[in-house]
Amino acid sequence: MKRTIAIVAGGDSSEHEVSLRSAAGLYEFMDKERYNLYIVVLRGADWHVDMPNGQKIYIDKNDFTLPLPSGKITFDYAYITIHGVPGESGQLQGYFDMLGIPYSCCSVFAAALTCHKFACNHFLNQFGIDIAPSMLLRSIKQKREEQIVERVGLPCFIKANTGGSSYGCTKVKTKEEILPALEKAFAEDTEVIAEAFMQGTEVTCGLYKTKKRSVVFPLTEVVTHNEYFDYKAKYNGESDEITPARISDELTRRVQETTLKIYNLIGCHGIIRVDYIIEDGKIKVMDVNTTPGMTATSFIPQQVRAAGMNITEVLTEIIEDSFQ
């Protein structure tokens, strides 16, 4: 008997449309002979499924079911592909935990921690993992230009603490650029990070674990055509993504070992992706992504192909692991 899977997408952040693209990718990747698939779109209190006939059917949030005229659809599993709130922040995970519905990504604590970039990086730093110097700001009213320059130096990045896809992110080169960058970041989030610029090779590494095994993928090297790996570089083809990365076998091994260490320290679940800068031989964490992009051209599918694996089989392995 087929399991019924909800691919949960959308969300309340600026990454809503990016999430919908990941949902479309997952729908194409998943085994339709094995699963009945529905894309559930969330924005605020609007939770619905767009049916093939054009009808919009709203989810019953009391039990996360789909009330069709022919009968109620009950979901066996939720594959969360929301980038940002509420799917990457732990809120949706708590909801599914209360309903007893298994899901694809990290638990409430792990999701909440990784969504809070500043807290996550400093948590990892306590275990010997290198990060860039940074500071957290909770109000634009704080006149912190001098302190930012003193603490993290110039150039630096000003970015939203819980945001992604480079929304609200600015590379700042002068003190005069700090306030406009803060205004841009605070338009995205109530907390903002000022982080030192790291000069080096940018790589990203994907990983998943099941009860039977750990699989660490080949690394992808990111070479942006722009000032940094911004939204256009990520989604408009203004970068080169090279898998496997053009670094030594020894460095590759160290990055993969660091990724597995991070996975275990945080207590992750399903597929994650960790982004790094390799600066003067030091591996420095930038970001831990617990719901990474899943379009055909996203990093994870690229790395799965480079590993000689099949993305459909990988997703089936992850889903079925929840029922073992």
Q: What angle do CA 207, 11, 223 make, to 5 degrees?
A: 45
Q: What is the pLDDT of residue 143?
A: 61
**Among residues 305, 294, 321, 218, which one has the least CA distance to residue 23?**
294
Q: What is the pLDDT of residue 150?
A: 92
CA distance 304 to 312: 10
Q: What is the pLDDT of residue 234?
A: 47
Average pLDDT (10-28) is 93
Average pLDDT (62-79) is 96
Q: What is the pLDDT of residue 231?
A: 47
CA distance 126 to 128: 6
pLDDT band at 15 (very low <50, low <70, confident <90, very high): confident
Q: What is the pLDDT of residue 233?
A: 43
Q: What is the pLDDT of residue 230?
A: 45
| pTM value > 0.95 | no
Q: What is the pLDDT of residue 42?
A: 97
Instruction: Determine what percent of the chain falls in helix, strand and coil, rounding each to the nearest 5.
Output: 30, 30, 40
Helix axes 249-266, 117-125, angle to 10 degrees: 110
User: Has residue 166 got a pLDDT over 70?
Assistant: no
The tokens of 159 are what?
């970015």
pLDDT band at 286 (very low <50, low <70, confident <90, very high): very high
pLDDT tens sequence across 194-235: 999 999 999 999 999 999 999 999 999 999 765 654 444 444
Residue 184: its H or E element: helix 178-186
Q: Does residue 14 contact residue 165 with C-beta atoms inside 8 Å?
A: yes
The tokens of 37 are what?
């698939």
Q: What is the pLDDT of residue 304?
A: 98
> pLDDT averaged over the chain?
92
**Among residues 128, 79, 131, which one has the least CA distance to residue 270?**
79
Q: What is the pLDDT of residue 141?
A: 72
Task: Give the chain's domains with CATH numbers.
Answer: 3-104 (3.40.50.20), 112-130+199-321 (3.30.470.20), 133-196 (3.30.1490.20)
Q: What is the pLDDT of residue 229?
A: 46
Q: Pick the range with the lowest mean pLDDT from 176-180, 207-211, 256-260, 314-318.
A: 176-180
